[in-house]
């Protein structure tokens, strides 16, 4: 039996899981919308959303493969086969990630790649949340995870942070959104409520022609 590392508190994975919630829905939305732009401006906005989504997926998976999974391999050696499978799933979707982002390919082919990614990622995230999330809770401390999360935020494109916050919080359950935002300083939470969230709702309306029906207006 693997010996659990003693930690004072379990990590708060709310922001991590919010990203998962965003991945679960956005690939499907883009698969439907990308082939049907209303005009050139809408086509450009859809391409910008696709670029953001694929870029952040790469950022998220790179962090798992280079930091989180190595932690778990060291601290829970018997989890190695599970982690191998998750890494293999990352590799399996790479061809469709490349196709989805290749603007030289016909838009119908790219939309089909987004649709396949929607299915594959939902299956992958089911596996990850069933296997890796409990391991993180068991073998990583709250303080360690918080410090790592701060480094992840620092490494991300600052110009894209408002988009990232709006996208992730637009997909998550209200309780999860509130829990994730509580980890950030008050100025960030105020910015989110007054500026970033309204801006993302407008962006979503422009992208998909429907209101973003979320209950995060008062996080």
pLDDT in tens, 167-189: 999 999 999 999 999 989 999 99
Distance CA 58, CA 187 (A): 28
Per-residue pLDDT, averaged over 25-40, amounts to 98
pTM: 0.92
Task: Report pLDDT for 3.
Answer: 44
Residue ranges per structural domain of the chain: 14-157
- Note the pLDDT of residue 5: 45
Which class for 45: exposed (0-12), middle (13-18), buried (19 or more C-beta within 10 A)?
Answer: middle
pLDDT tens-digit readout, 64-110: 999 999 999 999 999 999 999 999 999 999 999 999 999 999 999 99
What letter does residue 3 receive in the DSSP assignment?
P
**CA 219/CA 217 separation, integer angstroms:** 6
For 152, residues 6+ apart whose C-beta sits below 8 A from its C-beta are 63
CATH H-level superfamily of 14-157: nmb1532 protein domain like (1.20.120.520)
**Tokens linked to 20:** 């998962």
Say yes or no to pLDDT of 1 above 80: no
CA angle 163–164–170, rounded 5-degree value: 90
Report whether pLDDT(111) > 90.
yes
pLDDT at 214: 60
How much of the chain, in percent, has pLDDT values that exceed 70?
A: 94
Round to whole Å and give the CA distance between 104 and 111: 13
């Amino acid at each position: 039996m693997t010996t659990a590392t003693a930690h004072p508190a379990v990590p708060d994975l709310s922001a991590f899981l919010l990203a998962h919630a965003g991945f679960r829905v956005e690939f499907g939305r883009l698969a439907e919308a990308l082939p049907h732009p209303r005009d050139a401006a809408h086509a450009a906005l859809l391409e910008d959303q696709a670029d953001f989504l694929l870029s952040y997926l790469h950022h998220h998976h790179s962090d798992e493969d280079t930091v989180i999974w190595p932690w778990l391999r060291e601290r829970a050696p018997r989890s190695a086969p599970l982690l191998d499978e998750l890494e293999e799933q990352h590799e399996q979707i790479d061809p469709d990630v490349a196709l989805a982002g290749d603007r030289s390919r016909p838009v119908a082919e790219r939309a089909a790649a987004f649709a396949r990614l929607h299915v594959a990622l939902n299956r992958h995230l089911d596996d990850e949340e069933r296997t890796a999330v409990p391991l993180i809770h068991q073998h990583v401390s709250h303080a360690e995870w918080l410090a790592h999360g701060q480094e992840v935020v620092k490494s991300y494109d600052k110009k894209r942070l408002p988009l990232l916050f709006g996208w992730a919080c637009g997909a998550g359950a209200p309780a999860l959104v509130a829990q994730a935002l509580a980890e950030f300083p008050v100025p960030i939470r105020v910015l989110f409520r007054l500026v970033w969230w309204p801006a993302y709702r407008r962006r979503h309306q422009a992208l998909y022609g429907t209101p973003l029906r979320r209950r995060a207006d008062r996080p």
